[in-house]
Amino acid sequence: MTTRRIGSLTVSPIGYGCMSLSHAYGTPPSREYAEQMLNRALDAGYTFLDTAALYGFGANETLIGEVLKGRRQEFVLASKCGMFRNEEGVREINGRPEAIRKVCEASLTRLQTDVIDLYYLHRWDRNVPIEESVGALGELVQEGKIREVGLSEVSAETLRKAHKEYPIAAVQSEYSLWSRNVEIAVLDACKELGTTLVAFSPLARKFLTNTLRDLKQLEENDFRSNMPRFSPVSYACNLQLLDDYLPLAEEAGCTPGQLALAWLLKKAEHIVPIPGTAVLAHLEDNIAAAEISISDDLFTRVDAVINQQTVVGERYPEKAQSEVDTERF
């Protein structure tokens, strides 16, 4: 399998987003099944695992630390600070240097490791200059507690400001056929600066796998229920896009999800998708997408079927959108 670079780190071309093992998509899998998923991810060839202090309010980091502490040298570990549960038990965006340091120390303990390979600022705290937050992350690098600095959901302007303070190895942002905001400016800025674009939700939160045909499949506590694209009216419109997309996957000889990942890998060399799943079979399908090659013609046709002009609905509700520093079409 080929590899890709994130700063000084070498990773599998497709990483594993671990969030769904503890957070956001309804009832998480059992501990036993989650252990199977993590171990199987490494066995299948994933060498890049992504988590955050926010996911399950520490539960996801704890899971990874307990399950994979004996295999720590087999993978590049990414986590995030800047958005977590505060002492009052409320989710908080806080990018102050002292908060970043405190969250990092707690994450190191939960992850049962001496160093986090890639550490992101999960959200830019608009009350704190980005240079201050990034400066604190740079200090953690100097102290040997993290290896590379990343940002999540930031604009090209913010990325450039941050990069002047300390080299930014990666920007993590939602990127898929149906979420193209990074194409406005961030993708090019990353290429210019030597920064990797780590694409989360590359399968459009299951939409591109063709396995979410009915919104009744979602549990009440699944956060997709509050996303505009998953409203009944919008989702019915979006499902029609699959009528033209699914035959393209058949033509490529792969699953719909694999085609979406292959499209991202072909888009640019500085992109690393991190699909998340709590289904063992999907875990194996996703990593296999790294071996799929699609022609320029098929790439163009896929690109034309599902894009920012054909998808109905915003990706976040307005409140959540206000928390991200990203360009919008």
Taking residue 146's Cβ as centre, other Cβ atoms within 10 Å add up to: 26
Catalytic residue among 16, 46, 55, 235: 55
Which of 104, 99, 95 is closest to 87 using CA atoms? 99
Phi/psi at 6 (nearest 5 deg)?
Answer: -130, 100
What is the torsional sign of CA 24, 51, 249, 253? negative
Which of 151, 89, 157 is closest to 125 using CA atoms? 151
Which of 154, 71, 79, 90 is closest to 117 using CA atoms? 79
- Tokens read off for 172: 């993590």
Q: Is 119 a catalytic residue?
A: no
Q: Which residues are catalytic?
A: 55
